[in-house]
């Protein structure tokens, strides 16, 4: 309740909110999202930049087969677990013609395309003149009248964006379905099961209007009851893609109508409108009316008029033509089975005689999901019962599945209790009032005396003697506004094994965006309703609004307000009493004593560091960014990440946003054991870019006049289309304050008394006024003195007052106070100490560095699919690989390597086709691979893993935690220092001097973090090199330095000041030493044209400058993201590996040219591997993976460690879906690298604390290097 972690009293372990299986389960709920929508012409489509993605509305869920439609379980709460979709009505239980009932919803559309249903091919959705959709009769249709909403004055339709029917209305007209839409006479509303889009012909002179029916949320059971299944057949004439079968619930309108003659021959597709879906009974009725019958099984006819010709203009039916109407009903019987994995998950198997079924419901290629097993939770397995009466299929059991649905309460025990209802009823029901008088409210005394719920039954019950008549499988209970069906559905697989029939929002036959969105909303609602949500959200909001380290008391107060929806303070009550009420929650945050206490402002850990984007917006608002005319303009803040700010709306580098909530910078925060998340962005490139932007803004306005370092775009500078601010201006006119700059800071101090300082207000008063607006009156006296000097120094020449004000505003952005929210110095501290000046002197003629060593750590962020990088060939394992990997298996183009001397299960392996240069390095003896490596605490197999008999790394499969663990190489402590940092500490301690340098060319990674005071912090560069001040900021570099020269008490202020000071001094040093370095392979890096190549280029420049930097031991961090390939079956990985391969090639060539290739080792890493099995579109989170090391002294041409000898589910390392337990720990790899780098034996346990836990696959330097 207060944000502290709960401990299991019997074991002493923390109780996790979710398990690894939960992570995998919920990741399926986010499949098929497209991460960028199309650009909007008024914002992103700039004439000089071409395509720029939509930065404000980036998420889209298209209609395609990429969505995982299968059931998903909820998180366990109080030892209970349910399904996503529990308590939602069944679709087959909705009232007939639900689309004409009160509450039915229609959305306005610009054409006949369905945006919420399954998308149709654009070629026949727009225009609508080939074969129209459902056309409503303007004279007789009640639906037309509701949608038209005719204006009584103009007598014209007054269309609304959304129409919700306010009453039940009748259908209009009947007709028979036909193969040609043109032979059907509308109206036909009474002859369809459900419309898609309906056409409104409202004027002979105006284009028609469309509305799309958006059915209410409902679910179908994954296993229909016996007698309610028939086979639907896919269009197409071959089985590569198309012409396959699935089982469908006959009560649902998911397929079209195919009719044959009385002899079962000559199939035709008939419909009422294009894209018409119907239930099986409607299909039978239509065929009978047409003079035929439903077809047993024959090639599905193509009928463009009815919407099955989805391959128009594509040559043949293919996967690319998946939109549109795909399936037609047949009379072929159908049944379902389940394939049960060893861990109790199931996959649905459809059977339609000998007919091929779709892969997603076929044996071995279906999607496994969790179910709620009955009884003691047991299920059949091969190992325990040899599957009992079920079929043994490799390591799985295949069992027939029979669904039985029956009434739960029969009235024999009287009225059920409220707890019994909630705990035993899981299927929702429609509002009984929507059934045209079918249901009656129970008025018997037993019912009326029950205040907890209402009972509705199809038999009127008014006395207690007849109470049993109120309870059957049609009964509906109303509980707090929620309607529940008096039914339970169980799936029986024989031998006494059962599980609760799981609900599904989306149909595996006819997937829709609508149902995917409903499911996503349900998942989000489940997150919101979880008991941990209140303290979690409260903690995050407090951290963003008040302090990074709130007390448990503070969190509980806010969490209580979140739960109850009310908060009272000072006699005022906030909130409306609803769970999650933000008014109550924010009031509790801002009015709590920890937010308002001035005493706490002096506390070192109270408050927080501020996010870059908020600081920019603060500056713009406080200093009144506005147009000369006063007209409001939208500004586009969409290039801030590119410009080095480190933060931009909707452009986070990963799912963990721009900084980690658990980040602890080296220094006072780490020493005190507290977090300072935003300080992760206090690296040199971002700090200097921020200063450049904030020094440009007062001088030039919102432009890019300082070489892409401002926060405006060149479009804002060169061509403004908005009037009265339209036109052109240049940077010269901006700086001299000539008219025309559309957006600039226009605030003037009140003490001036006008546009200039007509009152001769003193600098101290002016600075106090700026201080109040920008730093809340917290400016330290020493920094105020600097500000007065800045003001006075600038107060000369043309426009002296304006120049002084601009200079002061710019310098405020460089004060530590502007970047934090607590007091820089404790008010009781009367003396200040000056921070030592870093020594950046370099010898004029440095001696050549001897015994140089460098490690380049290449991190593949997102979890690289490394079993596509290293593939077994020419042995039994390749057959397993192809079978297990399915659609993501690489079957051709592999680059063969010889592993005959490596003691692997195969002598031949292949590298991904994109790794041609690494392939050459391997064959030349300059690269080797480490097979199946990953974080471990102790070696284990899957049985030990399942039994929990050995300690496991924390939060397996979670990106953030596993990134920390992989980079610390201390699997039980994600907060430990980084492995390269510990290596550096060991080297420095041994040498007794600072001979170790660490560089990141990509942010502030954990791997470089060493012990404070032992090794200096890592230098952070960007791919473009050493960050430098623009002239506007560079002029005042000494002032910027002076503002951070004092040692302060605030941990956030001290972190900023140290970071700013180091950025200035190290930038000077690096710029002096490497600023003009040229490389022999400059053109190679340039031609590669990728960010990773740029990073490797900077590494090469630093290595070439090793003499000037007096470096004996260097480590470098470079990274490339995008490997979280849940929705990629190859192309994305191919591109990313190509970037790595090109970058390594250029780097190796440059190192050889410098003569230090033998002194450099490149090692790749990723947080974990990916599943061997496909999720249908890509792969999911796993564990062990394959990585490489490269360098001139590497003992190349071999594969170290142990590649798994069984890739199937039976494998001793396979814990499900091809998640392989590592055979080599990262300790095994780093021992040999650390030895090569110079770490002595007696220090190895400090560098690798878990090393003694492992007896095998521990490599010495002699194993890895020549």
Residue 1100 CA to its chain's centroid (Å): 34
Whole-number Å distance between alpha carbons of 589 and 595: 7
Helix (H) or strand (E) holding 261: none
Q: Which phi and psi (to 5°) does residue 781 adopt?
A: -55, -40
Q: With a cut of 70, list the residues of the chain below it in pLDDT.
A: 34-59, 63-64, 122-132, 181-182, 236-242, 298-300, 309-323, 638, 642, 706-709, 713-741, 974-975, 1012-1014
Provide φ and ψ at 738, rounded to 5°.
-70, 155
Cα distance between residue 967 and residue 1258, in whole Å: 18
Q: pLDDT tens digit string along 430-473?
A: 999 999 889 999 999 999 998 899 999 999 999 999 999 999 99
Helix (H) or strand (E) holding 357: none
Residue 998's pLDDT is what?
Answer: 93
Sorted by sequence, the CB contacts under 8 Å of residue 932 that are 6+ apart come out as 1169, 1184, 1185, 1186, 1201, 1202, 1203, 1204, 1213, 1220, 1222, 1223, 1224
Which candidate, 616, 593, 621, 777, places its Cα nearest to that of 692? 616
3-state secondary structure of 41: coil
* pLDDT at res. 123: 62
φ/ψ region of 280 (left if φ > 0, alpha if ψ in -120 to 50, else beta) reads alpha
Stretch (H or E) spanning 882: helix 876-885
Give, in order, the Cα–Cα distances in Å from 495 to each of 376, 380, 492, 1145.
Answer: 14, 9, 9, 60
CB-based burial, 131-159: b 16+ in 10 Å, e otherwise: bbbbbbeeeebbbbebbbeeeeeeeebee
Eight-class DSSP state of 773? H
Ramachandran angles phi, psi of 550, nearest 5°: -70, 155
| Residue 74: half-sphere exposure toward Cβ, Cα within 13 Å | 25
276, 258, 252, 268: which is closest to 135 by C-alpha? 276
Taking CA 1258 as the corner, what is the angle to CA 1253 and CA 1260, rounded to the nearest 5 degrees? 130
Give the pLDDT score at 618.
96
Asked if residues 242 and 319 have their Cβ atoms less than 8 Å apart, the reply is: no
What DSSP state is assigned to residue 113?
Answer: -
Strand 257-260 to strand 293-294: parallel, antiparallel, or no bridges (unpaired)?
antiparallel
| 1116 touches 854 (CB < 8 A) | yes
Which single residue is written with the structure tokens 């924010």? 586
- For the entire predicted model, the pTM comes to 0.81
Could you tell me the CA-to-CA distances from 737 to 726, 727, 1103 in Å, in that order? Answer: 17, 16, 46
* Site of tokens 């028979």: 176
Token look-up 């190549």 returns 1093
Q: Within the chain, how many helices (H) and strands (E) appear?
A: 34, 42
Phi and psi, residue 593, nearest 5°: -65, -25
- Whether residue 533 contacts residue 527, with contact meaning beta carbons closer than 8 Å, is answered with yes
Tokens 């649902």, residue located: 252
Distance, in Å, from the CA atom of 673 to the CA atom of 605, rounded to the nearest integer, reads: 10
Segments in 291-428 forming alpha helices (H): 382-385, 418-424
* CB of 1197 closer than 8 Å to CB of 39: no
In which element (H, E) is residue 269 found? strand 268-270
The Cβ of residue 182 has, within 10 Å, a number of other Cβ atoms equal to 9
| Cα–Cα dist 380/370, whole Å | 14
At 36 the pLDDT is 53
CA 766 to chain centre: 46
Nearest to residue 339, comparing CAs of 1209, 1212, 1204, 1174?
A: 1209
Q: φ, ψ for residue 30 (rounded to 5)?
A: -120, 15
For the chain, what percentages of helix, strand and coil (3-state, to nearest 5) are there? 30, 15, 50
Return d(Cα 697, Cα 704) in angstroms, integer: 9
CB atoms within 10 A of CB 471: 24
Q: Confirm if 506 and 67 have CB atoms less than 8 A apart.
A: yes
Q: How many CB atoms lie within 10 A of CB 759?
A: 13
d(CA 839, CA 168): 82
Give the DSSP H/E element, type plus range, for residue 586: helix 582-591
Q: Which two tokens stand for residue 1200?
A: 């170290």
CA 1222 to centroid of chain Cα atoms? 26
Q: In terms of DSSP bridges, do strands 476-479 and 482-485 run parallel, antiparallel, or are they unpaired?
A: antiparallel
Backbone angle region of 230, left / alpha / beta, with phi > 0 → left and psi within -120 to 50 → alpha: beta
Cα-only R_g, the chain? 34
Return the number of other C-beta atoms located less than 10 Å from residue 4's C-beta. Answer: 10
Which one, of 52, 84, 51, lies nearest residue 70 by Cα?
84
Give pLDDT, residue 6. Answer: 85
What is the b/e burial string over 187-221, where b = at least 16 CB atoms within 10 angstroms of the residue's CB? bbbebbbbbbbbbbebeeeeeebbbbbbbbbbbbb
- Per the CB < 8 A criterion, the answer to whether 211 and 200 are in contact is yes
């Amino acid at each position: 309740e207060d944000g502290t972690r709960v401990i299991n009293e019997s074991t002493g372990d923390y109780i996790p909110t979710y398990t690894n299986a939960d992570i995998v389960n919920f990741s399926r709920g986010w499949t098929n999202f497209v991460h960028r929508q199309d650009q909007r012409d008024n914002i992103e489509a700039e004439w000089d930049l071409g395509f720029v993605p939509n930065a404000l509305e980036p998420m889209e869920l298209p209609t395609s087969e990429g969505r995982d439609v299968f059931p998903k379980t909820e998180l366990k709460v109080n030892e209970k677990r349910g399904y996503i979709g529990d308590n939602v009505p069944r679709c087959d239980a909705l009232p007939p013609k639900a689309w004409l009932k009160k509450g039915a919803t229609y959305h306005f559309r610009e054409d006949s395309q369905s945006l919420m249903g399954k998308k149709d091919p654009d070629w026949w959705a727009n225009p609508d003149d080939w074969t129209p959709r459902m056309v409503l009769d303007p004279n007789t249709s009640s639906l037309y009248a509701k949608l038209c909403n005719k204006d009584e004055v103009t007598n014209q339709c007054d269309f609304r964006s959304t129409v919700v029917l306010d009453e039940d209305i009748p259908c209009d007209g009947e007709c028979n379905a036909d193969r040609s839409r043109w032979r059907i006479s509308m109206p036909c509303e009474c002859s369809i099961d459900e419309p898609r889009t309906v056409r409104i012909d409202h004027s002979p002179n105006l284009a028609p209007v469309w509305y799309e029916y958006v059915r209410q949320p409902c679910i179908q059971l994954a296993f229909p009851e016996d007698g309610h299944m028939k086979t639907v057949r896919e269009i197409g004439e071959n089985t590569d893609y198309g012409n396959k079968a699935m089982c469908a619930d006959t009560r649902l309108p998911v397929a079209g109508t195919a009719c044959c003659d009385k002899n079962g021959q000559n199939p035709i597709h008939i419909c009422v409108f294009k894209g018409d879906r119907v239930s099986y009974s409607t299909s039978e009725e239509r065929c009978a009316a047409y003079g035929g019958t439903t077809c047993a099984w024959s090639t599905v006819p193509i009928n463009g008029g009815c919407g099955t010709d989805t391959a128009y203009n594509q040559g043949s039916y293919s996967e690319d033509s998946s939109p549109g109407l795909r399936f037609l009903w047949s009379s072929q019987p159908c049944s379902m089975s389940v394939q049960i994995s060893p861990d109790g998950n199931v996959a649905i198997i459809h059977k339609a005689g000998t007919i091929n079924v779709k892969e997603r419901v076929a044996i071995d290629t279906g999607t496994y999901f969790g179910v709620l097993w009955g009884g003691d939770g047991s299920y059949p397995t091969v190992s325990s019962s040899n599957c009992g009466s079920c079929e043994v299929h490799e390591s799985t059991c295949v069992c027939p599945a029979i669904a039985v649905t029956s009434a739960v309460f029969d009235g024999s025990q009287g009225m059920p209790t409220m707890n019994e209802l909630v705990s035993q009823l899981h299927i929702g029901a429609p509002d009984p009032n929507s059934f045209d008088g079918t249901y009656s409210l129970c008025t018997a005394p037993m019912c009326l005396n029950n205040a907890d719920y209402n009972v509705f039954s199809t038999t009127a019950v008014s006395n207690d003697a007849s109470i049993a008549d109120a309870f059957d499988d049609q009964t509906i209970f109303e509980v707090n506004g929620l309607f529940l069906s008096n039914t339970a559905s169980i799936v029986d697989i024989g031998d006494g094994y059962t599980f609760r029939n799981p609900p599904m929002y989306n149909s595996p036959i006819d997937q829709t965006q609508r149902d995917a969105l409903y499911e996503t909303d349900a998942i989000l609602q489940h997150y919101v309703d979880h008991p941990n949500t209140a303290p979690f959200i409260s903690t995050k909001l407090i951290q963003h609004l008040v302090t990074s380290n709130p007390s448990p008391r503070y969190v509980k107060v806010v969490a209580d307000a979140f739960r109850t929806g009310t908060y009272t303070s000072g006699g005022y009550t906030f909130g409306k009493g609803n769970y999650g009420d933000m008014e109550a929650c924010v009031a509790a945050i801002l009015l709590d004593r920890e937010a308002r206490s001035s005493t706490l402002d002096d506390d070192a850990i109270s408050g927080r560091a501020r996010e870059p984007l908020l600081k920019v917006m603060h500056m713009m608002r406080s200093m009144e960014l506005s147009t000369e005319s006063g007209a409001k303009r939208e500004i586009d803040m969409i290039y801030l990440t590119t410009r080095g700010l480190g933060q931009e709306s909707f452009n986070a580098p990963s799912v963990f946003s721009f900084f980690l909530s658990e980040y602890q910078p080296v220094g006072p925060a780490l020493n005190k054991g507290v977090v300072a998340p935003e300080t992760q962005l206090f690296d040199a490139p971002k700090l200097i870019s921020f200063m450049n932007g904030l020094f440009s803004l007062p001088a030039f306005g919102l432009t890019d006049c300082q070489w892409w370092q401002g926060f405006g775009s060149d479009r804002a500078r060169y061509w403004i289309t908005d009037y009265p601010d339209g036109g052109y201006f240049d940077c010269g006119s901006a700086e001299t304050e000539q008219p025309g700059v559309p957006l600039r800071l226009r605030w003037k101090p009140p003490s001036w008394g006008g546009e200039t300082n007509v009152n001769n207000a003193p600098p101290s008063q002016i600075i106090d006024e700026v201080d109040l607006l920008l730093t809340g009156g917290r400016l330290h006296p020493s920094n105020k003195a600097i500000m007065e000097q800045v003001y006075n120094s600038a107060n000369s020449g043309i426009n002296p007052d304006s120049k002084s004000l601009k200079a002061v505003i710019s310098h405020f952005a460089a004060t530590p106070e502007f970047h934090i929210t607590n007091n820089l110095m404790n008010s009781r501290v009367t003396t200040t100490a000056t921070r030592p000046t870093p020594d950046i002197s370099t010898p004029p003629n440095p001696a050549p560095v001897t015994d140089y060593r460098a490690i380049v750590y290449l991190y593949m962020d997102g979890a690289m699919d490394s079993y596509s990088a290293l593939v077994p060939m020419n042995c039994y394992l390749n057959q397993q690989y192809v079978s297990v990997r399915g659609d993501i298996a690489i079957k051709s183009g592999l680059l063969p390597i010889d592993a005959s001397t490596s003691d692997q299960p195969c002598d031949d392996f292949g590298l991904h086709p994109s790794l041609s240069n690494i392939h050459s390095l391997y064959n030349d003896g300059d690269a080797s691979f480490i097979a199946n490596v990953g974080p471990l605490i102790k070696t284990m197999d899957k049985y030990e893993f399942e039994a929990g008999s050995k300690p496991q790394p924390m939060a397996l499969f979670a990106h953030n935690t596993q990134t920390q663990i992989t980079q610390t190489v201390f699997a039980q402590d994600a907060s430990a220092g980084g492995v390269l940092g510990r290596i550096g500490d060991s080297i420095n301690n041994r040498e007794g001097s600072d001979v170790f340098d660490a560089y990141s060319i990509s942010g502030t990674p954990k791997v470089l973090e060493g012990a404070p005071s032992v090794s200096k912090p890592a230098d952070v560069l960007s791919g473009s090199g050493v960050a430098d001040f623009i002239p506007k900021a560079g002029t005042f570099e000494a002032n910027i330095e002076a503002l951070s020269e004092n040692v302060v008490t605030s941990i956030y202020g001290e972190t900023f000041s140290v970071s700013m000071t180091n950025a200035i001094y190290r930038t000077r040093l690096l710029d002096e030493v490497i600023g003009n370095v040229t490389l022999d392979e400059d053109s190679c890096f340039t031609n590669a044209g990728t960010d990773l190549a740029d990073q490797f280029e900077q590494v090469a420049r630093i290595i070439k400058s090793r003499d000037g930097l007096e470096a004996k031991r260097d480590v470098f961090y470079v990274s490339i993201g995008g490997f979280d390939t849940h929705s990629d079956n190859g192309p994305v990985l191919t591109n990313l590996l190509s970037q790595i391969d090109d970058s390594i090639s250029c780097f190796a060539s440059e190192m050889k040219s410098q003569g230090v290739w033998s002194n450099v080792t490149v090692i790749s890493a990723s947080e974990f591997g990916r599943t061997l099995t496909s999720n249908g579109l890509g792969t999911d989170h796993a564990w062990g993976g394959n990585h490489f090391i490269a360098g001139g002294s590497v003992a190349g041409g071999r594969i170290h460690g142990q590649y798994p000898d069984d890739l199937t589910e039976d494998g001793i390392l396979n814990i499900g879906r091809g998640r392989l337990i590592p055979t080599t720990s990262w300790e095994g790899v780093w021992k040999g690298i650390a030895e090569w780098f110079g770490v002595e034996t007696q220090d190895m346990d400090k560098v690798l604390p878990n090393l003694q836990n492992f007896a095998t696959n521990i490599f010495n330097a002699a194993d890895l290097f020549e």
